[in-house]
Amino acid sequence: MRENIRRNVFAVLIAILLLFAVTGIPYFVLRANYPRPHYKTVSESGLPDSLVYAVIKAESDFDEAAISKAGAIGLMQLMPATAEFICSREKIVFEKERLKEASYNIKLGCKYLSYLCERFPAVETALCAYNAGEGTVRTWLKDPELSPDGIRLSEIPYSETRAYLKKILKYRKIYENLYR
């Protein structure tokens, strides 16, 4: 009798461990690969957290010291001229040396993304502008072969921007599912 109880307890423990291994570990691995650092700064932006984190993941993979070949800096990969424009528009003191500082970079990056979302009603179009530039996307929207309605892009001419948008949308969906 005692041996049966011991076997049953052992079987239940094994079942629990297997269940955890099958369902729990990938969840924790995913959360480790899709973190949410600087949550207060992100949540204060007024943008969906999943969108901001998807942009950060795609732009820098959470490397605060990231600098692109083109000169974009920090978590949200801001060009200094873009950051200066947003600071001027929002009446924030522009300090180029602070662009590698997470909270400053996220604050400015979110202000810029909000600015683009105001100008481009379709979030996908705003994301294309974040990557390819506002002027470039405005030109694309004027082309009926690329945008039949002048709001959304049916085609994205730059392969880099197409891949960028696809990546952001994938990351955003992962964030939405992980942090419901």
Choosing from 59, 90, 97, 145, which is the catalytic residue? 59
CB-CB neighbours of 49 under 10 Å: 16
3-state secondary structure of 52: helix
Q: How far is CA 69 from the centre of its chain?
A: 20
Q: Read off the tokens for 119.
A: 């100008």
**Residue 59 is a catalytic residue:** yes
CA-derived radius of gyration, the chain = 22
Residue type, 150: G
Q: Please, is 62 exposed, middle or buried when counting C-beta atoms within 10 Å of its C-beta (0-12, 13-18, 19+)?
A: middle
The shares of helix, strand and coil residues in the chain, as percent rounded to the nearest 5, are 65, 0, 30
Is the distance from CB of 30 to CB of 144 less than 8 angstroms? no
CA-closest candidate to residue 158, choices 127, 120, 132, 130 = 132
Residues serving a catalytic function are 59
